[in-house]
Amino acid sequence: MKIINEMKLEFLGVPENEGFARVAVSAFAVQLDPTLDVLADIKTAVSEAVTNAIVHGYADASGGTVTVAAALQDDGVLSLEIIDKGKGIADIDRAMQPFFTTQPEKERSGMGFSVMQTFMDKVTVESKPGKGTTVRMQKRLREG
């Protein structure tokens, strides 16, 4: 497997950048000519991961930065990393359970990770309390 193109975005962790992040990743991924359904899946998963970084990582509204790194591989796979340096996740398994949320009073559905897992081929999460969270996702855009 060889990387044929890559990009990195760094932006302030504020809600106004959620739409920007998903549109930017979608525009990058379109180089491999995925179907509209696949692009919609990617946009949705990126939206969830970036929203998690903003809502949970920077829950204190500190407005730290979110990094989105994307790579296109010669086997037709898109790899993504969404990184925040926020408060981190103490119990990743619990956080990934459907409907688990730390903010039910804000009508958070707790479906963010479930959406990512359903819409992408592979999702892994690395996190340390106080250090931040990295979500890695992969999706095949076309046969390699």
**Could you say which of 17, 18, 22, 52 is catalytic?**
52
**Could you say which of 108, 126, 136, 140 is catalytic?**
108
Whether 5 is catalytic: no
User: Is residue 102 helix, strand or coil?
Assistant: coil
- DSSP state letters, 35-89: -HHHHHHHHHHHHHHHHHIIIIITTT----EEEEEEEEETTSEEEEEEEE-SS--
Return residues touching another protein (CB under 8 A).
15-16, 18-19, 22, 37, 40-41, 43-44, 47-48, 51, 54-55, 106-109, 111-112, 114-115, 118-119
Q: Measured from the CB atom, is 3 or 27 closer to another protein?
A: 27
Q: Which residues are tagged catalytic?
A: 48, 52, 108
